[in-house]
Structure formats: C-alpha cells, structure tokens
Amino acid sequence: MLSRDKYTQAAREGVGKGWSGFLWMMKILIPISFFTLVLDYTGIISKLDFILAPIMGVLSLPPVAALPLIIGLLTGIYGAVAAMLVLPMAPEHMTLVAIFLLVSHNLIQESTIQGQAGLNPVKATLLRLTTSVITVALCAMVLNPPDAVPAGAGLAAASKGAFLPLVNAWALATAGLAAKILAIIMTIMVALQVMKAGGAIPVILRPLGPFMTVMGVDRKMGLLWLTATLFGLSYGAAVIVEETKENTFTDHELTQLHVSIGINHAMIEDPALFLPLGIGAFWLWVPRLIAAITAVQLLNLWHRLRPSHDREAKAA
C-alpha cells in the first residue's frame, strides 16, 4: 500500500499534467474560437449555405455546423468546442455535433494509430464516419432539432453588427469556458495519476470480464480496451501498439478491439469537454457506447455466419 506522501506526489503530478494540458488546449481554443467569430461576423459562413445546407441537412444540422465538424474531424474536439462557443446553434444542434464528433474526430492521427496496431486506416475512418452519421440520424429523431437557428443565438447574432461589443462578449464567454475546462481537466488528471500510483488499473480490470462480453470484445483485450477507453487512442497509443507487437492476437480479436475503441474511446475526457457548453450528460456518454456495442456485436454475428456461408459457397 502506498504512503500518503506517494499519493500526494501523484496528485501533484496530476496537477502539473493538468496545467500543462490546459495551456496546450488554450493555444488551440483561443485562436480557433476568435477566427470562427470573425468568419461568422463577416458572413463568410452564411455565403457557403448553398454548398453546406444539403450535406448538413442529412444530419439535421444548420450549415454553420459544418465548421466545427470540419475542425473536429481534422484536428480534435478542443478546436470544435472553441468554434461551437461562438456559432449560432440551438442546444439540439450542439448536442448532435457533439455526438458526431465524439465518434469521429482527429481522424488522420487516430486512424494512423489504429493502422499501426492492426486495423486498416481507411477502414477505421469509414467505420467511424458511418457510425457518426447513423448515430446522429437516430438521435435527431428523438431530439427533434429546429429547422432554423433560433433568433439571437450565437455571439455574432447577439452583437447586432458592433464588433467591439462582440469581442468583449467573446472574451467573457471564452474566459468562462476556460475556467470550466481547467476545473474538469485538473480533476481528471489528478484522479488518473492517483489511480496509476495506487495500482487501481489492474484492480479495475478484474471485474471487467462480464462487461467485455457485453461490449463484444474478447476478455484478453481488457487492458488495451481499458487503456483506449480511459485515455483515448492518442494518449494510449504507445500501450496499444506495443501490446499488439508483444502479444499474439487473432485478426478477429484485433478487429473487435478497434471497432469498439474507434467508436468509443476517451470516455472521461472527451465528453467532459462538451459539458461546459450545457450539453446533457446522457447524450455525451450513452449513444456512442450503444453504437460501439451494436457495431461489435454485428461484427461478431457476421464472423459467426461467414464460415457457414463460405462452406455453402464451396459446396455449390
């Protein structure tokens, strides 16, 4: 059992990592948020409505939602949150954007990581994008988002054409968001460092067996699954890649893992980043968990049926 000093040291390390991560996040959030504000204020985004409207319509989203989606798909959730802060979107729209991006974000980097660890990067990308579209379409039936953006929504709409008051409103809103993010990331990093120091990760793994069965992933993949689920594909990349090199896993076992963690990873940090925007916790955690379970179970069903199908084809 670790001494109190060890836990204190772990907590301090968590604070240090949390502060470092916060500063890194602000370097992304502040410039992207301001750039998005300017784009919205100048009307550049609205001029692209004729291109974006049909695409966004499939997702029950307004054209302006394309910007945070593109930012999130190419970079990550931090930049998307920065863009969402200033754009005119109803709460239902913001919820749908969050659901989409929780599954599909930072695709270039994360799909490359999955490619190094056993799943074709193109397949990884297509899987996540397809899952995002289907999940958002189903959630939109329940949320029933408005067809138009509510009057007065977004910082630019509220400014009534005055740029300086708009910048002041943006600064206040950004500062409030930054404070919330700081509190969230500090809590997460301290908790994770203490868990590591106390050896809680292996303890957590033991009762995971039945849950892994529900998820449709082989139990021997528990550590890799937990790593990606808690820390994300990027943060857990080293563990995932090294473990797949050192252990002999079947192609199907690796595919199970990658389908599950590709859809549902970083379950603590990523959804928490959307909480300051006022999005309900249910929508941030439950839909993609259900999507991951459904996708892997369908994969397992196809895997079980394929041998009999192959035999029938050979017999014919």
For 212, list phi and psi in degrees, rounded to 5: -65, -35
Mean pLDDT of 9-20: 87
According to the model, what pLDDT value does residue 229 have? 87
**Contact present, 128 and 114 (Cβ < 8 Å):** no
Which is more confident, 18 or 264? 264
235 pLDDT more than 80: no
What confidence tens digit (pLDDT) does each residue in 73-106 have? 877 788 788 888 888 889 999 999 999 999 999 8
Burial of 170 (0-12, 13-18, 19+ CB in 10 A): buried
3-state SS assignment for residue 254? helix
**Other Cβ atoms within 10 Å of 130 Cβ, number:** 13
**Predicted TM-score (pTM) of this structure:** 0.74
pLDDT at residue 177 greater than cutoff 80? no
Longest CA span, the chain: 76
How many residues in total does the chain contain? 316
Looking at the chain, the whole-number percentage of residues with pLDDT higher than 90 is 29
Q: Pick the residue with more confidence: 56 or 53?
A: 56
Distance CA(142)–CA(151), nearest Å, equals 23
264: left (phi over 0), alpha (psi -120 to 50) or beta: beta
| Burial class of residue 119 in the structure, from the number of CB atoms within 10 Å of its CB (0-12 exposed, 13-18 middle, 19+ buried) | buried
Q: Strand, coil or helix: what is 292?
A: helix
Q: Give me the mean pLDDT over the 143-161 stretch.
A: 64
Range scoring the smallest mean pLDDT among 23-32, 172-181, 258-267: 23-32
| Neighbour tally for 160: CB within 10 Å | 9
Average pLDDT over residues 172-194: 81
In angstroms, rounded to a whole number, what is the distance separating the alpha carbons of residues 265 and 262?
7
Nearest Cα neighbor of 127 from 258, 224, 241 is: 258
* Cβ neighbours for 21, distance < 8 A, ≥ 6 positions apart: 185, 189
Instruction: Give mean pLDDT, residues 17-24.
Output: 82
